[in-house]
Amino acid sequence: MVDKNLEIFQDILKSYDIKTENDFPKMKSVGKPKKTYYGNKSIAYGAIDNGLEYYAAYPMTPASTVLTEVINSKKVNFFQAEDEISVIMSALGASFT
């Protein structure tokens, strides 16, 4: 299989008359680079942009990157708890204030 793939690759190089690395056709850019966001980052910044004031979380997968994004934004008060019960108690306390 490897030999066959190498043979195909060599045929392609010959058809384009490519002898060295510098002979490869240059790829041209199409448009501007796009910004990409993963789901948790979108959730975090959506909440922040819509008035999130306090965020309490216990960092565990898959939600730990939401906490990371909230911390990195430096716009929201946060509490990184030691367990889920602490998160619930913190959220209750915040709701009472």
Spell out the domain ranges in the chain. Answer: 39-97
8 Å CB contact between 52 and 78: no
Query: What is the mean pLDDT of the segment spanning 65-80?
Result: 92
Q: What is the pTM assigned to this prediction?
A: 0.60
pLDDT in tens, 74-86: 999 999 999 999 9
What pLDDT, on the 0 to 100 scale, is given for residue 34?
A: 81
8 Å CB contact between 25 and 16: yes
Residue 26 confidence (pLDDT) above 70: no
Residue 43 confidence (pLDDT) above 70: yes
User: What mean pLDDT, rounded, does the chain reach?
Assistant: 86
DSSP assignment letter at 80: E
CA 26, 29, 30, 34 dihedral sign is positive
